[in-house]
Amino acid sequence: MAWFQRTIALPPRSRGSYLITDHIVSELPELRTYKTGLLNLFIQHTSCALSLNENWDEDVRADMSDALDRIAPEDHKGDLYRHSAEGSDDMPAHIKSALIGASVTIPITDGRLATGTWQGIWYLEFRARKHSRKGCGDYPGGEDVVYNYFFF
């Protein structure tokens, strides 16, 4: 089985939920050549996440960020979390990352991501300051080739 690797840059983002489906698809021109397969994306950090969710209404992304902030609030007083060396937003970011997850797997059918009508790939950044993120993924498909993708 052959392997192909590529780097995909995600622009640095501050806290929020971002729809990145179009960016991912534009960076994967080989996707169009696959009859069937899987796209596995993995982000290599502990204070951000990847998810599949609503792709149409931006309010859903804002509501998701607000809901996660209620579940794991910042620790401005320093009395909520033991781990606080990296700032008041760091431990809540780790909690949110653990709840949402670091990876998504999406079927490929006839050269396209086989997502539902309203599904999109989300990048969720949980730290207040902008961060560049590194991640990877693999892309096994119908042509017996695996593609690895790295995010920076």
Please enumerate, as own/partner, the contacts of 62-69 that have beta carbons within 8 Å and a separation of 24 or more.
62/17, 64/17, 64/124, 65/15, 65/16, 65/17, 65/124, 68/96, 68/99, 68/100, 68/124, 68/126
CA dist 111 and 59 (Å) reads 30
Specify the number of domains making up the chain: 1
- For 56, the token pair is 């149409």
CA dist 148 and 140 (Å) reads 9
Query: Phi then psi for 26, rounded to 5 degrees?
Result: -65, -25
Q: How does residue 151 score in pLDDT terms, banded at 50, 70 and 90?
A: low
Q: Which residue has the tokens 């593609």?
A: 147
- For 88, the token pair is 């008041």
Whole-prediction pTM = 0.87
Residue range 97-107: mean pLDDT, rounded: 95
CA dist 123 and 131 (Å) reads 12
Residue 34: give the domain boundaries.
Answer: 2-151
Average pLDDT, the chain: 86
Domain harbouring 133, CATH code: 2.60.120.460
Which residues are within 8 A (CB) of 109 and not within 5 positions of it... i.e. 6 or more apart?
35, 36
Q: How does residue 1 score in pLDDT terms, banded at 50, 70 and 90?
A: very low
